[in-house]
Each structure stands twice: as C-alpha cells, then as structure tokens.
Amino acid sequence: MEEEESIEEIMRRVRRLEIRARRLASESFSGDYHSSFRGQGLDFDEFREYQPGDEVRFIDWNVSARMQETYIRKFREERELSVILAVDISGSTNYGSDFLSKRERAAEIAALLGFSARYNGDKVGLLLFAKEPVLYLPPAKGGKSVLRAVREILTARPPEEGTSLSAACSFMLQTLKRKGLIFLISDFIDWGFEKPLGSLARHHDVIALPLIDPLEKKLPNVGRVYLRDPESDQEVIVNTSNRNTRMGLEKLSRRYREGLAAFFKKHGIDNAVISTKDDYLASLHRLLKQRAHRRR
C-alpha cells in the first residue's frame, strides 16, 4: 500500500511539474530558447533577385543566366536539434536543506527545458548518471518523451554509490554521432572530469547547470552537528559554533565554485548556477539572453 501511495504521489508530482513547465515554456521561456540555439545547418529555401548588400557568394549564376537577371539562393536555418538532458542522480543530489532536493530541482529544470525544446520542434533525450550511466533514452519528439524523462529523474535509483562525470561525458562522446545540445545538470561534486568534459564541449554544444544548496555556501551557527556523506555514508561531527570552522568551509566552497566557473570559461561552456531555494528562471533567462546576444 505504501509503495502504491508513493507511486501515486510521484505521478501527481510529475503532473504538477508538467502543468507548470508547459505554462512557463509557452508563455515566457520558449522565445528565449528559440533565439539562443542554432540549428544544425542551412536548408535551401528559394531564389530571389539580387539586392545591393546581398552576399555575392550566394549568387546562382546558372539561374541568373536563364533569367537574364542576377538571382541569389536564399536559405533558412535547419532548426531541429537533438537535445540531451544529462542529469546527475548520485546520492548527493538527494540532499536539500529547504523545500526541494537537488534532484527535484533538476526535474523542474529538465521539464522546462524539455517542453521548450518540444515547442521548438527539437528532439529530447535523457541520460541519467551516477558512478556510471544509469539510463539513456535517445532523442525523440513529443511530450511523452519529456514526461518520461521527468518521471525517470524522480524515480531512478543508481545501482551503486558515487559520481563520475567522466563516465557520463565519455558515454555521450561515444554515443552521440551528430552534434547535439547537451544540458549537463549536476552538483559537480566530483573530480578528474576536466579532460572528458572539455572534449565533450569541443564536439557538442554543452550548457552546464551546477546545482547548489544554500547551506553549501554558508553554514549556520547551530552548534555541533553530524554531517553525513550520502555517497559513502561517512559521518563527521562539525562544530558550527566555531567561527573559524564556518569560515574555512565557506572558503573551500567558494574556491571550488570559482574554479568550476574558470574551467567553464576556459572551455567555452555556458553555465548558470541553479539554487534549490532561489528562483532559477532569472538565471536561465540571463543565460539564454547572453547566448542570443552573441548570435546577433
């Protein structure tokens, strides 16, 4: 009975996410998405007469000779993209100090991005990973693929503890034959992933969305607390009343986030930090507007 109730609750949660994501995607997000991502090439559209300022290289000399006027080839962008939602479901993403866990926030983000992609005619696929790739759904069109992705993000259980961004990046490099758009949603609590992620960014358009909980930036003064690593089950007692301890942890956290941002910049990986507490739409809007501005 408890299992049935939990399944029903998950489906209710998926439905709530679907309703909100569809509304946001159609009302305020889809336009930013469309203007931010290029298609995979150009398709021929039609011929038209040459006008001053047109690219000379697009003149079609055969048509121009037949028509005895100068004509150019007009192209339109091939819009369809293959979008991969690469989502970290390792133990650390189950943490959340406030209302939502990192994984629940990841499901929200995936729903919004997935429906935005769908409204723009793009295919949506899913990669769930922890220590190894856990589930891969190839890119497909339609709302059902997005809903299944959201459901899998909320319910999938990795077979073993740990996180390997390297394994996830290597899998995508081997699996994705055409250039795709990859949203990498993770708390990036891992190491040694720089080389494979850099290689992935050279072959695909990678958008990094680091998940962070407010307590990972700043610990409150609440006395002695047990801190448990959700992936190794190791526990440690931390005296949060000690100012030096709090400052030291804040400094380590800040340095790691600064190092991650520097890595993204070095490899040309666009990114937006996603908080489990604060509004994420502002961060995503800012990211997409920056990309759209570069396109212009």
What CATH architecture does domain 2-36+80-295 belong to? 3-Layer(aba) Sandwich (3.40)
The predicted structure's pLDDT at residue 203: 94
CA distance 208 to 137: 20
CA distance 280 to 86: 18
The predicted structure's pLDDT at residue 28: 62
The predicted structure's pLDDT at residue 143: 77
| Burial of 130: CB neighbours in 10 Å, binned 0-12, 13-18, 19+ | buried
CA distance 145 to 85: 11
Report the Cα 52 to chain-centroid distance in Å.
42
H/E element holding 202?
helix 194-203
CA distance 222 to 256: 24
Q: Give the residue range(s) of CATH 3.40.50.410 domains in the chain.
A: 2-36+80-295
Neighbouring C-beta atoms of residue 218, cutoff 10 Å: 12
| 189: Cβ contacts below 8 Å, ≥ 6 apart | 90, 92, 163
What does the DSSP 8-state code read for residue 56? G
The predicted structure's pLDDT at residue 201: 97
Classify each residue of 243-270 as buried b or exposed e, where b means 16 or more C-beta atoms within 10 Å of its C-beta: eeebeebeeebeeebeebeebbeebebb
CA distances from 39 to 58, 140, 244 (A): 20, 16, 51
Q: Which residues pair with 226 in a beta bridge?
A: 237
The predicted structure's pLDDT at residue 19: 79
The CA-CA-CA angle for residues 151, 271, 277, to 5°, reads 60
First to last CA, the chain: 56
| 241: Cβ contacts below 8 Å, ≥ 6 apart | 221, 222, 223, 224
> What are 222's two structure tokens?
């609440």
Residues 38, 294 contacting (CB under 8 angstroms): no
CA distance 280 to 156: 24
Per-block mean pLDDT, blocks of 10 residues, the chain (296 long): 52 75 71 66 63 77 85 64 95 87 93 88 94 96 86 92 96 94 96 96 96 89 82 82 89 94 96 91 87 72
Neighbouring C-beta atoms of residue 152, cutoff 10 Å: 19
| 31: Cβ contacts below 8 Å, ≥ 6 apart | none
